Amino acid sequence: MATFVLIPGAGGAGEVYWREAAAEFEARGHTAIPVEIQGDDEALGLPEYASITDEAIGEHRGVVLVAQSMGAFTAPMIARREALDRIVLLNAMIPIPGESPGEWFKVTGAEEARRTANEAAGRSNEFDLVEVFLHDIPDDVKVDMAEGDREPADTPFGQPCTFEAWPDVPIHVLVGADDRLFPAEFQVQVARGRLGVEADMMPGGHLVAKSRPVELAQRLVAYLDDGT
């Protein structure tokens, strides 16, 4: 059985964001550890996020480190690399060494990709939180998510991701086919260009752990048996 250590995206509400998916892992006999980060605290940044993740890993081994969105900037900065079995980057901002999250948007062309996808789909380019993040999430789950609302602090967006190379373990990239923040084809290109990894696709938007937790858990558990 594996231990899934689950890093949230911007804002850091790990317990709320991963709640349904964590339950699915546990139901399959695995251990699930959502990482809780006070992402609205300006005193915390990427180094602190990595330290908090190291604390969550603790003495566990055979860890599958799953990083949602901006959580991908935390994943390569952790110290407890020897504990890892593999990494899964989910609708992720995949960094290169020394890059900050703020720089990532400009360097990768993420905003241009979002605008192009919106125009092709006939959607407005105005940044509406409901349309971008919550469009495929059930109403009752949206209500539950409100308890985890945090306005992300500016601090980590200006900090470099300090790592020399990714951990020497298999890395999977999983993409929501209907992600409206980071369009699927854009994510595929970034994964290929930055990691040399061919991304896998699943249905759902940016927050697939909330909209499709059962399928997400099935996908992640399947990685354990893929032979890489």
**Domain boundaries in the chain?**
3-223
Q: What is the CATH number of domain 3-223?
A: 3.40.50.1820
Sheet hosting strand 3-7, strand order edge to edge: 31-34, 3-7, 63-68, 84-90, 171-176, 200-202
Provide CB contacts within 8 A for 51, sequence distance 6+. Answer: 79
Helix residue ranges, H only, 75-127: 101-108, 110-121
Predicted local distance difference test score (pLDDT) of residue 43: 97
Predicted local distance difference test score (pLDDT) of residue 144: 83
Give yes or no for residue 227 having a pLDDT over 70: no
Name the packing angle between helices 184-195 and 110-121 (round to 10°): 150
pLDDT tens, position by position, 137-193: 999 999 888 877 889 999 999 999 999 999 999 999 999 999 999 999 999 999 999
Q: In the numeric block, which tokens belong to residue 80? A: 């407890």
